[in-house]
Chain A
Amino acid sequence: MNITNIKRVSSITILSVLLIMVILLATGTGAMHISGMQVLAILLNKAGIHLPVAYEENMPGVLWMIRLPRVILGVLIGAGLGVAGASLQGLFRNPLADPGLIGISSGASMAAVVMIIVQSALPVFQHVPVLNFYVLNLAAFAGAVITTLFIFRIARTGGQAAISTMLLAGIAVRALCESVTGLMTYLASNEQLRSITFWSLGSLGGASWQTVAGVAPFVIIPLIMLPRLAPALNLLALGEREAMHSGVKVPRLKSLLVIFATMAVAAGVAVAGIIGFIGLIVPHIVRQFTGPDYRILIPGAALSGAVLLTVADLLCRTIVAPAELPVGIITAVIGAPFFLWLIIKEKRTIPA
């Protein structure tokens, strides 16, 4: 067993254990306190295993209907943001790449904000309030996917997406989306403004088993597929030419990376709004411990993203309880100083 394998097995094990602990803690914390053992007992009870732990009668209801969907949604969205960030940093060969770079967030925001404004103008939505929620989600998802594909399409020449063109196109398209978002914000009423602000800062408050079921396939497919691309991503770090020489079908790899990264993020953005910083910092944190090997980095980023968002959501619903902070504020408050610390630390170790 060489160092790479030891690093891989130990970091994945530690992160998995950490994730389970965080999930137990987060599902137990709230207006009604449920201890970790009680959470475990309630969960295992469903599977037919009876632990000798006493719990109150209404605890399973709170756990199953309120806490668990929210925690699982956080785990899914966090994992999606983490893997998307790691893969995009590999695709762009740039550690500053994040899902925002290829227009996922700006496209989703634009579509969502337009939808918020349009919804109140159309009477259909007032009569069927359930529609509101789903249409907003769908619009955000479509906005993310269309923007990303558009940027990808512009950058494609001769069957290959030129990475530098993609970055530049990303900047331009993002600016365009943000101007539309800005215009809508300007046109919005006070009430719409609140909804826009809340949406653009992200929240897991809308979690239910339905949203979990809606998001799950979009996150799980990339979670299965992206690790398979890890060896090719490693070669891509040497350059596109070297990757090609070594047998990587580079154009196909790039398309798959963009598609899976968009899938992993877009569904989450659609139900929970924009949650910043996780896609950017999670791969950096993981890299500190595992090194740059994508075979470890991608699963590591999935687990760490899940841990980080679960913790952030736990904080945002407990520190001002019974009110809630938007989760994007917490991720930025944890993420930004941490990122600064990483930059300063890297500046010291790597000579300019």
Chain B
Amino acid sequence: MMLCVKDISLSLGKIKILQGVSLEAAAGELYVVMGANGAGKSTLLKVIAGEYMQYQGSVMIGGKELKSLPIAAQAHTRAVLSQQLTLNQPFTVEEVVSMGRYIYNAHLSATDKEIITYALKIMQIQSLRDRTYPTLSGGQKQRVQMARVLAQLLEAPDLQATDYTGRKMLLLDEPVTGMDILHQQLSLQLAATLAASGVLVVAVLHDFQLAAAYASKLLLLKDGRVYAQGTVEEILTSAHIKNCFGVDVAVLEHPHCHYPLVVTAATGGLFQSPALKALKVL
């Protein structure tokens, strides 16, 4: 098992963020974490990324205890795309993407440069290569960061040539925020391609359609606990979504879609949720 999280709990100050969360994810999976705001999704991802060392429980990555892995070994095994990155110094796009190769070489080798160019190409930002980062739009910035993370993950300038099974993990915290619909699709296709090469991809997503279309497994978090985990069909039911998000939805089958479609119910039905009922009263 590439990632094995067993009964982890984490408190920040006096607030319990995660309580007894367990999950198992294998190499080659695209494991999607969903849940309402504040359910603990980002924190779970940060624990796996090695940011909080004060958690209780155990996190095993590729069979090794996370706490025993040095920073360099962690960086060789997993790459992370976090939320809310701020970079206000005018680095060029190429410089930012090159930073992804830090762990491999102090000075960029020919392979490093090929991988950087490849990552720029995959994220369709070659034309932005010499632009400075602060002048980009939100979605473009996100694509640059994705390219940087890709540069850290890849060992060759090709997505399919290398078998990464059991060696690489990619953590994505709301990776498509701010992207247009085309690049949302492209980013998740990229994640799926990486998964096909053996990378374990763990992604926090908010969009049911993206999750349904690409996830190989889904985890629903509620109030810092695992609410449910399983396949897309098992998890994306109107009852689960109602319980976790407080919204009435209909889960539909579409003749040309291989995945369930989650649609919010018509306005009348929506007002059955307590929060919105309160609004109606006002």
Instruction: Verify B71–A2 contact, CB threshold 8 A.
Output: no
Closest chain A residue to B100 by CB distance? A246
* Of the residues A2, A241, A248, contact of B94 by C-beta under 8 Å: A2
A232 CA to B103 CA, complexed, in Å: 10
* Of the residues B74, B86, B95, contact of A239 by C-beta under 8 Å: B86
Q: Mark B65-108, 1 if CB is under 8 A from A, else 0.
A: 00000011011101110100111011110111001101100100
Instruction: Verify A291–B49 contact, CB threshold 8 A.
Output: no
Instruction: Verify B106–A350 contact, CB threshold 8 A.
Output: no
Is A217 close to B, CB under 8 A? Answer: no
- A350 CB contacts on chain B under 8 angstroms: 134
A295 CA to B79 CA, complexed, in Å: 23
A248 CA to B71 CA, complexed, in Å: 7
Closest chain A residue to B72 by CB distance? A247
* Of the residues A228, A235, A249, contact of B99 by C-beta under 8 Å: A235
Closest chain B residue to A291 by CB distance? B90
Is A182 close to B, CB under 8 A? Answer: no
* Of the residues A2, A242, A293, contact of B82 by C-beta under 8 Å: A242
A350 CA to B71 CA, complexed, in Å: 36
- A4 CB contacts on chain B under 8 angstroms: 92, 94-95
* Of the residues B71, B100, B152, contact of A244 by C-beta under 8 Å: B71
- B87 CB contacts on chain A under 8 angstroms: 237-239
Is A206 close to B, CB under 8 A? Answer: no
> Which of A235, A245, A293 has the largest count of B CB atoms less than 10 A from its CB?
A245
Interface residues of A in 317-352 (CB under 8 A from B): 350
Contact status of A247 and B91, CB under 8 A, knowing A231-B102, A239-B86, A350-B134:
no
Instruction: Verify A247–B92 contact, CB threshold 8 A.
Output: no
Instruction: Verify B99–A238 contact, CB threshold 8 A.
Output: yes
> Which of B51, B85, B102 has the largest count of A CB atoms less than 10 A from its CB?
B102
- A245 CB contacts on chain B under 8 angstroms: 49-50, 74-75, 78-80, 82
Is B130 close to A, CB under 8 A? Answer: yes
Report the minimum CB–CB distance from B236 to chain A (whole Å): 30
Closest chain A residue to B89 by CB distance? A292
A228 CA to B130 CA, complexed, in Å: 25
Is A165 close to B, CB under 8 A? Answer: no
Instruction: Verify A234–B152 contact, CB threshold 8 A.
Output: no
Contact status of A241 and B71, CB under 8 A, knowing A246-B102, A247-B102:
no
Is A3 close to B, CB under 8 A? Answer: yes
Closest chain B residue to A246 by CB distance? B102
* Of the residues B86, B99, B106, B132, contact of A246 by C-beta under 8 Å: B99
Contact status of A291 and B91, CB under 8 A, knowing A3-B130, A241-B82, A244-B50:
yes
Report the minimum CB–CB distance from A25 to chain B (whole Å): 33
A77 CA to B139 CA, complexed, in Å: 45
Instruction: Verify A248–B102 contact, CB threshold 8 A.
Output: yes
Residues of A within 8 A of B (CB): 2-4, 228, 231-232, 234-235, 237-239, 241-242, 244-249, 291-293, 350
Beyond the given A232-B102, A248-B102, A291-B95, please list 7 additional residue pairs across the A-B interface where CB-CB is below 8 A: A244-B71, A246-B99, A246-B152, A247-B75, A247-B103, A291-B91, A291-B132
Q: What 9 pairs between A and B have smallest CB-CB spacing?
A: A247-B75, A247-B103, A292-B89, A245-B80, A246-B102, A247-B72, A237-B89, A249-B71, A235-B99
Pairs A–B under 8 Å by Cβ, sample size 25: A2-B94, A3-B94, A4-B92, A231-B99, A234-B102, A235-B99, A237-B91, A238-B87, A238-B99, A241-B46, A241-B51, A242-B80, A244-B71, A245-B75, A245-B79, A246-B102, A247-B72, A247-B74, A247-B103, A248-B102, A249-B71, A249-B72, A291-B91, A291-B92, A292-B90
